[in-house]
Amino acid sequence: MEIQQLLHEKPELRQFMRQNPIWYRKITREPHLIPEMEKESNYFYGKTFPQRVEKVQNNIGLAMMMIEMLKMGKNSLG
C-alpha cells in the first residue's frame, strides 16, 4: 500500500518503474530498496549533483560561444 502511495505522489518514479520493470519485482519483494530505486531514478533522469553541474557548465559554455560569435559578427560589420 505504501508503495502505491509513493508512486502516486511521485509520477517520475512511476514512469521510471514502467521503463524498468525489474524494479517493480524488487520493490514488491523488498520494500526497503525504495531509496536505492530513487537514487537510480535520479541518475536515470540526470538529477544527480554532478549531472546538474555538468548541465550548467554546458549551458555556460554555449552562452560564451554565442557571445563570442556576436562579438565577431559586430567586428566584421564595423
pLDDT tens for residues 12-68?
Answer: 999 999 999 999 899 989 999 999 999 999 999 999 999 999 999 999 999 999 999
pLDDT at 3: 85
**Alpha-helix residue ranges (DSSP H) falling in the chain:** 2-9, 11-19, 22-29, 34-44, 49-77
pLDDT at 42: 93
Residue 78 pLDDT level (bands cut at 50, 70, 90):
low
Alpha-carbon span 7 to 26, nearest angstrom: 14
> What's the pTM value of the predicted model, to 2 decimals?
0.66
Distance of CA 22 to the CA centre of its chain: 20
DSSP 31: G
